[in-house]
Structure 1
Amino acid sequence: MTIKVAAPLSVVDHRRDIAGLKYVYPVVSRRAGGVSIGINLNPNNACNWRCVYCQVPDLVRGSGPTIDLALLASELDQMLNQIVTGDFMQTAVPVEARRLNDIAFSGNGEPTTSPQFLEAIELVAAAQQRFDLALKTVLITNGSQLDKAFVQEGLRRLAQIRGEVWFKLDRAPVDGFEFVNQIALKRAQVERRLAMSAQCCPTWIQTCMFATDGQLPSEAELVAYVDFLAEQMAAGVNLAGVLLYGLARPSLQTEANRLSAAPTDWMQALAERIRAIGLEVKLST
């Protein structure tokens, strides 16, 4: 089967159905700096959070459904075969991005809510072995399921296949409601889950910054965010660094018209503040 994308890939188009598959989709990723093969364990558009900047259409609250593991394995093989031995890169990818960078559990909701999260990681490991690849495998997560043993086991398995976690932390966690992620959080929960993630697998903080109603995050919010990172480091949490990014694609949530991109120089200044506490920062504006 030849996979045909609906349009040439670009950093502003991350449609999950762009290749006509149910679980597997290719993207050109700003943060990856090349082609990332996405795995969508939430084709029902269900997530236990509802981030105001989320680009998922018709997002609903919920968990990942039961996955057809055989179909997922078949789709991943099809995609890898066309990228590794076919003309996918030449026909669907801009010249500057023709590099296969990683396989990423991302998709249309929180991947770790899938009851088959661990099995899906094993499928990725097996596929890489079949194609003689040593790609990085990324889990993009809000960290909410890190108290569960099978999720911890999945992260430890991820670490064995050159994996890393991108742990969502958009603002310093405070007890109570968080506007950005539309979720009630407890700071101690986030601290515990972040420490567990870093213990199981190399972990990056993933942070999206933007203006709301024309107002950028306040100085107090920035101080709280940087201080939180510093406190985790002081407590012995081994963080790989921070993936700091802004709005590249429009939100599909009800708050969309209230959000706007932060200026590049503002983002660069924040990156320097984070570097000053000893963390590597990869900035995508």
Structure 2
Amino acid sequence: MGKEQTVLFHSTVFGPIHSRRLGVSLGINLMPDDGKVCSFDCLYCEAGYNAQGTGSTGLPPRETVAQSLENRLNAMRLAGDPLDVITFSGNGEPTLHPEFPEIIEDTLRLRDKYYPLAKVSVLTNATRIFDPATAEALKRVDNNILKLDSAVEDTMRLIDRPASKDFTVERVVESLCQFGGTGIIQTMLLRGEHCGRRIDNTTQEEIDALVDAYRRIRPKEVMIYSIDRSTPEENLVKVGKEELDRIASVIREAGIKVQGYE
């Protein structure tokens, strides 16, 4: 079924690293530093499958996140280090943290104090956007990057494997419309096989469905990309730059701003 793959991040604040999408990025991991907590169990997740467990350290409290972030920002500023963005990512879905809205508030305050020109980004799978407090927090950040890997229900469930049966393409697309003009939609394009089932969200049917969804949502921008690191499901295939460019052209012709990342 796949290879043994475990969590990537072993601290609450990590980096900075160079992100192919965001630049010099200081990461914030709101999940355990020795386990994974996510409402999806994506076949391509670089942090591995949820089956590895949630670990023993638990979620970092709001105060710990703020102090760790302030310490790192202060040290970076004293050293004269550049910073483009503070990015919420890590070992699972950041919006699952019960203090997520308050942590966003702290982060914006610290960003303004130490690196006022830096952006704050959240990479989210959009499973918590139905919660008003979470949605309002996401509206406050500079880059609210929301996942939509397929607008075809069966494909979405095969690739992303949401924990909730109530999470559907129709429901999430409808709720994503609240971020029209401000949200960034991120779509992972890939092919392969999982448990004998073929995976391909680059077909004409899939791209047409995505374009229809993008039109409904009216995002600020769409990011399409493909596999960059090893994945827990071994039978996945990277979509190359030439094909990403072709798909980007189709999306662009529909009047939607798009960037492609190999």
Q: TM-score range by the shorter chain?
A: 0.7 to 0.9
SS, match of residue 212 in structure 2: helix
Structure 1 partner of 2:246: 269
Q: 2:135 aligns with which of 129, 148, 152?
A: 152
Indicate yes or no: 2:191 matched with 1:191: no
Aligned-residue identity in percent:
27
* Conserved? CA contact 1:144–1:193, under 8 Å: no
Structure 2 partner of 1:69: 62
1:215-230 alignment to 2 at 5 Å?
Answer: 216=200, 217-230=202-215
Output the amino acid matched with 1:56.
A
Q: Deviations over 1:207-266 (max 9, x none)?
A: 111121497432222222222223x0xxxx431111111111111x2x2x1112112211
Aligned equivalents of 1:262 and 1:242: distance in 2? Answer: 17
Structure 2 partner of 1:93: none
Change (3 A) 1:56 1:215: closer
Output the amino acid matched with 1:239.
P
Q: Which moved more, 1:264-273 or 1:190-199?
A: 190-199
Aligned equivalents of 1:211 and 1:176: distance in 2? Answer: 11
Structure 2: gaps (5+ residues) = 1-6
User: Alpha-carbon deviation of 1:83?
Assistant: 2.2
* Conserved? CA contact 2:89–2:123, under 8 Å: yes
Indicate yes or no: 2:4 matched with 1:24: no
Output the amino acid matched with 2:251.
I
Aligned equivalents of 2:205 and 2:86: distance in 1? Answer: 37
Q: Deviations over 1:176-197 (max 9, x none)?
A: 9611101254233112220123
Aligned equivalents of 1:57 and 1:283: distance in 2? Answer: 24
Q: Normalized against structure 1, the TM-score is what?
A: 0.77
Change (3 A) 1:132 1:221: closer
Aligned equivalents of 1:198 and 1:138: distance in 2? Answer: 17
Aligned equivalents of 1:168 and 1:188: distance in 2? Answer: 14
Output the amino acid matched with 2:209.
A
Tell me the matched-pair count: 242
* Conserved? CA contact 1:208–1:246, under 8 Å: yes
Alpha-carbon RMSD across the aligned residues, in angstroms, is: 2.5
Aligned equivalents of 1:280 and 1:179: distance in 2? Answer: 27
Indicate yes or no: 2:117 matched with 1:134: yes
User: Alpha-carbon deviation of 1:57?
Assistant: 3.7
Q: 1:36 aligns with which of 22, 25, 36?
A: 25
SS, match of residue 160 in structure 2: coil
Q: 1:242 aligns with which of 222, 226, 229?
A: 222
* Conserved? CA contact 2:83–2:115, under 8 Å: no
Aligned equivalents of 1:50 and 1:134: distance in 2? Answer: 34
Q: Normalized against structure 2, the TM-score is what?
A: 0.83
Output the amino acid matched with 2:100.
F
Q: Deviations over 1:149-185 (max 9, x none)?
A: 2112312433xxxx22111011114279611101254
Structure 2 partner of 1:170: 149
Change (3 A) 1:277 1:23: same
Aligned equivalents of 1:134 and 1:192: distance in 2? Answer: 33
